[in-house]
């Protein structure tokens, strides 16, 4: 058995990225296994046995209460929060050193020295920046790093030690309920937590290699050159390049995370982006990008609104009674609970459900505009749900009551036929 394993995590719309990563990795390390966790379901979209990687599923990672965990989070959050579980899984399988690589990485040269570093330390991290930026925007760039995290979680190395296990348990516990972008609360998905790792745990190594984890955030400080088939950084072979935030459908933009950056700003690295785009196309990007997320819909086909995920998460232990929140058939299902009325109006068409009540409670502007949901404000609020609420909160029309649906039909034929429509827009926001 090889001592080393590498892993990554994707939903199936990102399988083309995993293919490119796997092919580039196998070119340099054909004997080292690369595991891809599918944070999704295959659903007949591809044949796992034909892929250039070993496929794992979320259910293989011993994630507690998996159905609720994946429901509580967006597709991106599910993949991110699963990282420590994947690393733990591979450590428990007996690998002596395990490396996580984000799927949007291209391996460009031998990684043996990187594996050796991971084996010598319990945890190995790479910082976004290795020295103070010298450009005029240096302070702003440093402030951005302070908000998103000192270390980039696109690379994590762990060895098979108790210290590494302790770190992974701590990290996965934090990500279970606190894996989101909330800068005001000090969170940026998995990364801000890593700022604490060198303080909380012994033997956390900071890898200061400019040829590792090259990406848009450090390009101004890295001298990237293409020399035939080789990519050099500061004159040394680039270990891997991280195409974080690169959107193949926007090929002139370096990353979706910094809209001001274009390929004109990338220098010689722009050609590397062009090569990566060609690799993604050859790996089936145009097909895979449309593959649907298995956990994005209830089993009746209705898309899951982000608010429904939030409400379920905030219910805490009380949510366990619903069972799998994606299942809708049972009378006590979460879907049916969201659609239960908050009261019993004389006119059943005027029902306000738990979902819309939650939105009402979250928004002071709605409470000011419609202070009395038991009186005249009720009809106006229901019209707001139909004309504005579904769009503002991305709520499927399946969550609208009869009165609200009628308001949509009325507004679509003649806006003035929905009494007070313009007034509603003026009162809210």
- CA-only gyration radius of the chain, Å: 25
**How does pLDDT run across 60-116, given as a tens digit for each residue?**
999 999 999 999 999 999 999 999 999 999 999 999 999 999 999 999 999 999 999
Q: Examine residue 328 and state whether it is found in any structural domain, yes or no.
A: no
Is there a contact between 73 and 309 (Cβ–Cβ < 8 Å)? yes
Same structural domain for residues 269 and 369?
no
Same structural domain for residues 15 and 89?
yes
Q: Examine residue 310 and state whether it is found in any structural domain, yes or no.
A: no
Residues in contact with 187: Cβ distance below 8 Å, sequence separation at least 6, in sequence order: 178, 179, 180, 181
Q: How many CB atoms lie within 10 A of CB 307?
A: 18
418 pLDDT tier (thresholds 50, 70, 90): very low
Number of domains in the chain: 2
Find the CATH number of the domain harbouring 31.
3.90.550.10
Residue 230 main-chain phi, psi, to 5 deg: -100, 150
Is there a contact between 83 and 189 (Cβ–Cβ < 8 Å)? no
**Number of helices (H) and strands (E), helices first, in the chain?**
19, 14
Closest alpha carbon to 365 in 345, 384, 342 = 384
**How far is the C-alpha of 240 from the C-alpha of 215, rounded, in Å?**
9
Same structural domain for residues 413 and 343?
yes
Average pLDDT, the chain: 93
Is there a contact between 363 and 389 (Cβ–Cβ < 8 Å)? no
Exposure b/e, 344-360, CB count within 10 A at least 16 = b: eeeeeebbbbebbbbbb
Is there a contact between 258 and 216 (Cβ–Cβ < 8 Å)? yes
**How far is the C-alpha of 216 from the C-alpha of 197, rounded, in Å?**
24
Same structural domain for residues 280 and 165?
yes
Q: Which residue is associated with the tokens 């990554």?
A: 8
Q: Examine residue 72 and state whether it is found in any structural domain, yes or no.
A: yes
Q: Examine residue 320 and state whether it is found in any structural domain, yes or no.
A: no
Side-chain-side CA neighbours of residue 51 (13 Å): 25
CA 289 to chain centre: 15
Residue-range definition of the domain harbouring residue 349: 339-427
Does the structure show a pLDDT above 90 at 264?
yes
Q: Examine residue 306 and state whether it is found in any structural domain, yes or no.
A: no
Does the structure show a pLDDT above 90 at 136?
no
Same structural domain for residues 117 and 258?
yes
Category of 177 on φ-ψ map: left (φ > 0), alpha (ψ -120 to 50) or beta: alpha
**Domain-ending residue, one of 254, 271, 288:** 288
**How far is the C-alpha of 87 from the C-alpha of 93, rounded, in Å?**
10
**How does pLDDT run across 405-416, given as a tens digit for each residue?**
665 556 555 544
Q: Examine residue 333 and state whether it is found in any structural domain, yes or no.
A: no
Does the structure show a pLDDT above 60 at 6?
yes
Does the structure show a pLDDT above 60 at 290?
yes
Does the structure show a pLDDT above 70 at 298?
yes
DSSP classification of residue 399: G
């Amino acid at each position: 058995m090889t001592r080393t394993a590498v892993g990554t995590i994707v939903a199936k719309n990102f399988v083309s990225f995993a293919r490119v990563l796997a092919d580039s990795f196998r070119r340099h390390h054909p004997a080292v296994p690369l595991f891809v966790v599918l944070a999704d379901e295959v659903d007949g979209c591809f044949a796992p046995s034909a892929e250039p990687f070993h496929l794992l599923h979320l259910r293989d990672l011993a994630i507690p209460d998996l159905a609720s965990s994946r429901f509580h989070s967006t597709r991106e959050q599910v993949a991110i929060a699963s990282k420590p579980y994947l690393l733990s899984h591979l450590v428990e399988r007996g690998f002596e050193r395990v490396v996580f690589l984000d799927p949007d990485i291209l391996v460009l040269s031998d990684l043996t020295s990187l594996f050796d570093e991971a084996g010598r330390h319990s945890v190995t991290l790479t910082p976004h920046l290795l020295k103070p930026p010298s450009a005029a925007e240096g302070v702003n760039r440093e402030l951005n790093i302070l908000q998103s995290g000192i270390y980039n979680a696109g690379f994590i190395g762990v060895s098979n030690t108790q210290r590494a296990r302790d770190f992974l348990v701590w990290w996965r516990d934090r990500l279970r309920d606190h894996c989101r972008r909330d800068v005001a609360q000090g969170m940026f998905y998995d990364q801000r937590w890593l700022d604490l790792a060198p303080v909380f745990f012994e033997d956390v190594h900071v890898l200061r290699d400019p040829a590792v984890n090259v990406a848009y955030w450090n390009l101004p400080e890295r001298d990237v050159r293409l020399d035939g088939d080789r990519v050099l950084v500061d004159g040394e072979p680039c270990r891997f390049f991280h195409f974080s935030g690169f959107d193949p459908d926007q090929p002139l933009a370096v990353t979706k995370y910094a809209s001001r950056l274009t390929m004109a700003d990338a220098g010689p690295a722009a050609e590397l982006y062009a090569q990566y785009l060609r690799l993604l196309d050859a790996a089936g990007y145009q097909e895979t990008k449309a593959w649907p997320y298995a956990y994005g819909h209830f089993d009746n086909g209705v898309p899951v609104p982000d608010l429904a995920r939030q409400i379920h998460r905030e219910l805490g232990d009380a949510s366990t009674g619903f069972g799998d929140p994606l299942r809708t058939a049972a009378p006590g299902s979460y879907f049916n609970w969201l659609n239960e009325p908050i009261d019993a109006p004389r006119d059943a068409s005027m029902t306000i459900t738990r979902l819309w009540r939650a939105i009402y409670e979250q928004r002071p502007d709605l409470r000011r505009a419609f202070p009395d949901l038991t009186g005249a404000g009720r009809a106006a609020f229901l019209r707001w749900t139909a004309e504005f609420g579904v769009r503002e909160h991305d709520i499927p029309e399946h969550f609208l009551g009869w009165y609200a649906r009628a308001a949509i039909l009325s507004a679509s034929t003649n806006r003035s036929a929905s009494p007070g429509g313009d007034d509603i827009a003026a009162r809210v926001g």
